[in-house]
Chain A
Amino acid sequence: MDFFSHRVRKKARPTPSGRALCSAAGSSGAGPDGGAGVRSGGVKTGSRGLPPLNRQPFSSRRGEKADSEGGSAGPGAGRLKNVALAALFPCCALLAWWLLGRWHVLNPYLTPPPGEVLDAAYASLLSGELARHTCISLARVFAGFFLTAALALPLAAALYFSPAMERFLRVPLEFVRITPPLALIPLLILWLGIGEGSKLAIIVLASFFPIFLNAIDGLKNTDPRLLEMAETIDLTPWDTFWRVLLPSSLPSVITGLRIGFGYSWRALIGAELIAAAAGLGYMILDAEELARTDRVFVGILVIGALGYLFDAGLSRFAAWMSRRLHLAKGR
């Protein structure tokens, strides 16, 4: 189905019928000892060197980076080295920032030195303002995120099971997918006002497609051999969904949720920059209007750090989940 072709990868293996087909077409090339794999002494003569079936680990799915940050390094020195390497760039950047400010290369009005930013952060922490804006932004993003998941996941399942529905919704979905949510902000403000409604709508629009498309991709990539097995043990469609389709697509679903969360975070800040009375995006805009560049920096750093933390948390969760539930593909 070409609608989702940009997400749907080639099946890992042809279906058994396809395999039978291929070999039927080239049967003349089969060796004469096809039936004499084992001799009386137990010596293997004509083994069919089949490759191991479908054992890709979860982390190799899609272009997403691997899920465990530490990689394959051991728990000791290797891990420390990785942490040090990861911290190297931020530390250098901070040092450069501080030095450039100190040498008066940077205009302190446009780029306040780290110390001033820290002071501003401390001040807004003390006043409770930073916490208030952060909480409001987080509340919005979580509400929008859960709303999106509640919409996207059932819809993905529905479209997986109903090709007619997929054809019916193909054009509108593709239209919305290709339209950047920020382009809809004026319209959303006209329709929903500058209250919470328009923010929620932005988040839903921004995170719907990663969640939806990854879920449908996960369902479609379920090993057809396992579905066939489910058929041979007479599983009901309901059981097949819960016991086969859902666990098999869960890694992909979680990847979608993770990407979707990042998208909704970014879109929310964008929406708050345009129309809001609270939230981190509003805080930045307000600071800019008051020429408080230090507070602009505080806002940016908090947004980036929180986004990073949540993404890292979700990725850990995904790795833990796939280990805990043995979510590798069936064998």
Chain B
Amino acid sequence: MAGVRVSGLSKRYRAGGRGVQALDNVNFEVESGSFVAVVGYSGCGKTTLFRHIAGLERPDSGSAEFFESADRPGGDRSGVGRSSVDQSGLVRPRLGMMFQEPRLLNWLTVRENLLLALRRTTLEDREGAVREALAQVGLGDFGEAYPDQLSGGMAQRAALARALCRRPDLLLMDEPFGALDALTRLQLQAELARIWTTRPMTVLCITHDIGEAVILADRVLVMNAGAIVDDRAIDLPRPRRWGQPAFESLRKELLDIILDNNIN
């Protein structure tokens, strides 16, 4: 399984003639097997951070690297989806990625969309992996449907299945449920929590929803103006429920941190 080490990551953009420091010397480490959420205001650099970790953008300075570590106890990965180390000595974990939009190819069925994501993997039983992932997100009967026949929530489930069928070491999510309605969001959060407890993997989830962060994550990083301003372990027992006093007080605490930071 893979962890993430972000060190000294900085990125500056030019927008409307002036520079914007999207990332300002960001440092943190995500232990392998943990679930880390990054929260913050829209525009605080969350998505930029995600894109750098995903390798979709190059930093001005610093780096985001993956590191290999022992599997979480009890985790049976049966040899698939294991990280590989390439010639340069860098760890290349198998990534599963989820964006705010499903980003499915409309001209392929859901099953074909998932199979395409497995095309460059070494998995033996691809059809089996696809079936399993679809069943996991509750889309077992929709493999032959086309994305334009799915509801928004179902399409996002399919995107989650696409990320999961790769048996990822590391699941990167950028506001995965941000565009969904409140009820569907709750449902998918619960499912993601359930899937994560049954299948060991490292998850880094970017979200603007503090409640989502608290209900899902082991650890919450608060971002503001391109920097990590707070790092908090969430040691609530699982399964967690909205409305529990401990949950609510943590959520309130994090909200206060974000609000205080924005005033400064």
Q: A-side interface residues toward B, CB under 8 Å?
A: 16-17, 19-27, 30, 32, 34-38, 40-44, 47-48, 50, 53, 225-226, 228-229, 231-236, 239, 243-244, 247-248, 325-331
Contact = CB atoms under 8 A, between A and B. Distances in A.
Nearest to B242: A40
Interface in B146-168: 146-148, 155, 162, 166
A20 B22 contact: yes
Q: Which 5 A-B pairs have the closest CB atoms?
A: A35-B210, A27-B43, A23-B43, A40-B243, A44-B182
B182 A24 contact: no
A20 B43 contact: yes
B185 A229 contact: no
Contact of B45 (A22, A24, A331): A24
Most buried by B among A24, A36, A244: A24
Interface in B116-134: 116-117, 119-120
Given A24-B15, A229-B99, A17 B48 contact: yes
A50 B101 CA distance: 11
Interface stretch (B49-57, B75-83, B194-202): B49-57
A53 B179 CA distance: 10
A330 B43 contact: no
A27 B44 contact: yes
B171 to A, nearest CB: 12
B158 to A, nearest CB: 10
16 contacts: A17-B13, A19-B47, A24-B20, A25-B43, A27-B42, A32-B259, A35-B209, A38-B242, A41-B243, A42-B186, A225-B103, A228-B56, A233-B116, A326-B107, A331-B102, A331-B148
Contacts of B207: 35
A234 B122 CA distance: 12
A327 B105 CA distance: 9
Interface of B: 13, 15-16, 20, 22, 39, 41-45, 47-48, 51, 54, 56-57, 95, 97, 99, 101-108, 116-117, 119-120, 146-148, 155, 162, 166, 174, 178-179, 181-183, 185-186, 207-213, 225, 242-243, 248, 251, 254-255, 258-259
Contacts of A236: 120
Nearest to B208: A34
Given A16-B51, A20-B47, A228-B56, A325 B107 contact: yes
B178 A48 contact: yes
A225 B102 CA distance: 10
Contacts of B182: 37-38, 42-44, 47
B54 A26 contact: no
A80 to B, nearest CB: 31
Contacts of A32: 259
